[in-house]
Structure 1
Amino acid sequence: MSNNAISTGPELPDNPAESTVDDSRLLANRDLSWLRFLSRVRLQSSDTRHPLLDRVRFAGIATAILDEFFMKRIALMLERLEEGRVTASLDGLSIQEVLERSTELIKQEQVELDRIWFEELVPSLKTHGVVVLEYGELPPTDRLRVDQWFEREVEPVLTPLAVDEGHPFPFISNLSTSLGVLLRVPGERTKQFARIKLPDGLPRMVPVPHSGPVGITQDPNRIRFIPLWQLVEANLGALFPEMEILDSGLFRLTRGAGLETGEDDDDEPDLMSTVETELARRRFAGPVRLEMEPESSPELQSLLLDELGLPKDAVTVRTSPFEPAAYHQLADLPRADLQRKKWIPTAPLRLRGNSDIFSTIRDGDLFVHHPYESFHDSVERFVNDAAHDDKVVAIKQTLYRTTSDSPFIESLIHAAEAGKQVACLGELRARFDERNNVGLPPRLATERG
């Protein structure tokens, strides 16, 4: 191990083969291993064996993994430290040690993500006709075009919120990206703070074609993009007329996800109510991370930290895009030459042209290889055919993650209405799908009558 490496657990014993199975030195820490997984994903964004837009997507996935780690694991570690828990986990590391090592690993990963974005991805995109620019790098005529687009499409949906004696500091929701602004009335000394949230419905990268309307990618082979927040920042004067703009900066807040409360809660007599309560609390969970630009002023940073009740070490300084959506927007460009060829799953050979899936299974076990073979033509068909088969008397199924429009739900409802016995086991705590899963039992019960 190099001197700069951060260990994911205690040092291995000299002779691991001679150690007992309960030797803590043989165990890797859960949280630090998670960050090693992040590192492997981040490396994909720098691997030139992948098509360029796939590499951009990997950078977005790595950013999303970091978001989730802060929401779930960093938040839980901070909560346990605040409660005074110091007990080491099975790997021998205390919570404080894991937090410190996690912080160092995250800093290393963020530095690498920033470097890959500016030194590898952005230059490579440019060579293929996709140019990511700063607002100030646009020619004057194009800045006029994007300013006019801002006036028509962006300004009407922005809601600046000022803080003063009559207006308290606004609630900042989880993973929301905002501009913080310091301003004052000309001639007065008192400064005011205002927050402008970037609405979710707007593109994080604004397409600026060489000709034609702004906001539309007419030619994906020759297109420019500027960050949305820079366009908003350049037009602050329109949002705060007759005010003096003193300072502004981009920031993004991460709150704890809640529901990461431990296995003991699985013994709750009413787990459904417990999850519903925690979902209601999630929106107001405590803040754990504040992302800011390196150019942000100490005054603006200090104001945000004070209002949010965060320590200085909660600030993550980064230069690459804050939001996964920015990367995915670029990765979704219709450029087949820069993307891996999409695989279209094929129907399993034994099911092609066969109208009776059950006779096929009776003839011999059916092995299906996903995602190469079609899930729709195998598993979905199996459940749907069972729901409509008069000879089937019962369907018992487990659904881990699902959606309200899942074909399985419709099949199960039809089966129940047809008089079949239907039992469905759902995972209420499938991370970040809890809201979908909590709504599933009532719907199934209602549809069954």
Structure 2
Amino acid sequence: MESDSTRYFNRELSWLEFNNRILFESRDTKNPLLERLKFLSITASNMDEFYIVRVASLRDLLSVKYDELDISGRTVKQQLSEIDEKARAQMALMYSTYTRSLVPSLKNHNIFISDYRDLDDHAKEVCDDYFRSTLYPILTPMAVDASRPFPLIYNRQLNLCVLIDETEEEKQARLAKQEKKGKVIDPEYRFATLQVPTVVPRLFEMHLSTGICFVPIEGIIQANLSSLFIGSSVLASGFYRVMRNADLDIDEDEAEDLLKEIEEQVRKRRFGEIIRMEINEDLDPRLLKLLTTSLKISKKDVFPVGGPIDLTFLMKVVGKISDDFPDLCYHSFRPAKPKMFPEGVNIFDAIRAKDRLVHHPYESFDPVVEFVRQAAEDPKVLAIKQTLYRVSSSSPIIKSLAEAAQNGKQVMVLVELKARFDEENNINWAKMLEKAGCHVIYGLVGLKTHSKITLVVR
């Protein structure tokens, strides 16, 4: 029996509608202002991941001329076309929300996100001092010419591109050659690119008499390019950021060692095909041509934006000022402490008396952490078996599992290596657990283990 395609939504277009709902939360003035910034940051982050995974996988299908219809009756080409149309409309609304709603609303509370060009002379001087003391030493401009090929541009990293005029010597040589040949010879401009550093905060924070001000560092760098290209004249400059295919291509049935295969695929991510490039909307056409030619990007994959590239920095803004503006945030939620597990209680005594149910996130996760910690130390515990999907950088669970193994208990951990964008982190944790004496399983072939289970044998 054939399915009626009109009854089904396309998965990718449906996801864009979901992201639209998050965007609308950032536009809803009933939400506290800083929460609206969070929603817009989440929308931007989601869009990035959507392109480097979902759109990337469709591009892979297109490259092998896959011509089957999806369940909604669309070809791969039709899906990509509709995605492009909806994504551009969504991004336009994101930047409209940022420039016309959020930034003015922040100003009403004496919070400013300002471009370097909009600052007064005193504020510019403060920014220039920061450039000389902090930014200048860590910047590395890379020239591009016949002897120096275009460098690798990393995924989702903000970059500055620069067009440099010919030197006076080059100009005189060109004019002499032009006079000799009797025809006009176009000047040969030079091109350079530099990555906006990630080892310092994206926003430079200043406390002014009018309030707190955040200045994106890329604007500070752009205003001080003459310090980087001494003796040269900068004709034009702009910003760009590329998205690379980050979808892991793993044949689990053929892979002899899943850990090594995923490690190799994670390493290859930095060289993935560029599927999208964001630029500032007023980028000089000469720079745009150089970028699209050098990076082999089609113009249909270029997304001009009317504001700072990569709005995920808004989450950092919230993190810096939320304590000073509690009225602009939702009240922080504190989970209740389960009365069935008073402080200092022996977890095993409590669950021997009867089964216990803890309701997360409304009740604290502390009893679970304490359960694993006590199991690691309890001499009656023989084994601990656990699944791990995503692990924080300072996980007490990992510490307890390692301690349990060192205490002579049998510890078996299933670490899901295919947790999206946590693959490298999970590989590192898995190796650390193995060194501590734990038995580690790297997921199951053909499945992604998302469940969270802990079994203690006592």
Q: What TM-score range do you get, normalising by the shorter chain?
A: 0.7 to 0.9
Q: Check if 1:369 corresponds to 2:381.
A: no
Q: Tell me, yes or no, if the aligned pair for 2:45 and 2:312 is still in contact at 8 Å.
A: no
Q: Tell me, yes or no, if the aligned pair for 1:386 and 1:392 is still in contact at 8 Å.
A: yes
Select 2:348's aligned residue among 358, 381, 385: 358
Partner of 1:229: 218
Give, in whole Å, the separation in 2 of the partners of 1:413 and 1:190: 61
Q: Which digits, 9 at most, give the CA deviation of each residue in 1:336-366, with x for residues without a partner?
A: 1212222222321111235121222233332
Select 2:31's aligned residue among 50, 59, 65: 50
Q: Tell me, yes or no, if the aligned pair for 1:177 and 1:197 is still in contact at 8 Å.
A: yes
Shift of 1:21: 9.8
Q: Check if 1:429 corresponds to 2:410.
A: no
Count of equivalent residues: 418
Select 1:243's aligned residue among 197, 214, 232: 232
Q: Which amino acid aligns with 1:172?
A: I
Q: Tell me, yes or no, if the aligned pair for 2:163 and 2:237 is still in contact at 8 Å.
A: yes
Give, in whole Å, the separation in 1 of the partners of 2:2 and 2:21: 28
Select 1:309's aligned residue among 292, 296, 302: 296
Give, in whole Å, the separation in 1 of the partners of 2:254 and 2:22: 35
Partner of 1:381: 370
Q: Tell me, yes or no, if the aligned pair for 1:113 and 1:320 is still in contact at 8 Å.
A: no
SS at match of 1:209: strand
Q: Check if 1:95 corresponds to 2:95.
A: no
Q: Which amino acid aligns with 1:344?
A: R
Give, in whole Å, the separation in 2 of the partners of 1:378 and 1:399: 17
Q: How large is the RMSD of aligned CA atoms in angstroms?
A: 2.0
Select 1:142's aligned residue among 123, 138, 148: 123
Shift of 1:403: 4.1
Partner of 2:327: 337
Give, in whole Å, the separation in 2 of the partners of 1:108 and 1:351: 51
Identity of aligned residues (%): 36
Q: Which amino acid aligns with 2:52?
A: M
| CA spacing shift, 1:203–1:410, aligned 2, 3 Å | closer
Q: Tell me, yes or no, if the aligned pair for 2:8 and 2:72 is still in contact at 8 Å.
A: yes
Per mean C-alpha deviation after superposition, the further-off stretch among 347-356 and 37-46 is 347-356
Q: Tell me, yes or no, if the aligned pair for 1:403 and 1:436 is still in contact at 8 Å.
A: no
Partner of 1:162: 143
Q: Which digits, 9 at most, give the CA deviation of each residue in 1:301-357, with x for residues without a partner?
A: 111011111100110111233224421222111321212222222321111235121
Give, in whole Å, the separation in 2 of the partners of 1:22 and 1:266: 31
Give, in whole Å, the separation in 2 of the partners of 1:227 and 1:439: 33
Give, in whole Å, the separation in 1 of the partners of 2:375 and 2:326: 39
Give, in whole Å, the separation in 2 of the partners of 1:313 and 1:100: 10
Q: Tell me, yes or no, if the aligned pair for 1:204 and 1:325 is still in contact at 8 Å.
A: no
Give, in whole Å, the separation in 2 of the partners of 1:430 and 1:266: 18
Q: Check if 1:114 corresponds to 2:114.
A: no
| CA spacing shift, 1:225–1:409, aligned 2, 3 Å | closer
Q: Check if 1:65 corresponds to 2:63.
A: no
Give, in whole Å, the separation in 1 of the partners of 2:83 and 2:25: 21
Partner of 1:178: 159
Select 1:417's aligned residue among 406, 410, 419: 406
Q: Which digits, 9 at most, give the CA deviation of each residue in 1:76-133, with x for residues without a partner?
A: 1112111111212333322112111111110111011011001110010000010222
Partner of 1:4: none
Partner of 1:272: 259
Q: Tell me, yes or no, if the aligned pair for 2:44 and 2:312 is still in contact at 8 Å.
A: no
Q: Check if 1:203 corresponds to 2:201.
A: yes
Q: Which digits, 9 at most, give the CA deviation of each residue in 1:426-445, with x for residues without a partner?
A: 11100000011122333222
Q: Tell me, yes or no, if the aligned pair for 2:38 and 2:314 is still in contact at 8 Å.
A: yes
TM superposition score normalised by structure 2:
0.86
Give, in whole Å, the separation in 2 of the partners of 1:46 and 1:122: 12
- Structure 1 unaligned runs (5+)? 1-19, 212-220
Q: Which digits, 9 at most, give the CA deviation of each residue in 1:139-195, with x for residues without a partner?
A: 223222221221112111111111122211111111111111101234323200011
- Structure 2 unaligned runs (5+)? 172-186, 439-458
Q: Check if 1:399 corresponds to 2:388.
A: yes
Shift of 1:300: 0.9
Give, in whole Å, the separation in 1 of the partners of 2:254 and 2:137: 49
| CA spacing shift, 1:222–1:307, aligned 2, 3 Å | same
Q: Which amino acid aligns with 1:432?
A: F
Q: Which amino acid aligns with 2:338?
A: P
Give, in whole Å, the separation in 2 of the partners of 1:209 and 1:435: 38
Q: Check if 1:447 corresponds to 2:436.
A: yes
Shift of 1:134: 2.6
Partner of 2:192: 194
SS at match of 1:242: coil
Q: Tell me, yes or no, if the aligned pair for 1:185 and 1:242 is still in contact at 8 Å.
A: no
Q: Check if 1:289 corresponds to 2:276.
A: yes
Shift of 1:420: 2.2
SS at match of 2:287: helix
SS at match of 2:271: coil
TM superposition score normalised by structure 1:
0.88
Give, in whole Å, the separation in 1 of the partners of 2:107 and 2:4: 52
Shift of 1:25: 3.5
Q: Which digits, 9 at most, give the CA deviation of each residue in 1:213-271, with x for residues without a partner?
A: xxxxxxxx811222221111111111111111111111111111131x37x53674432
Give, in whole Å, the separation in 2 of the partners of 1:25 and 1:243: 61
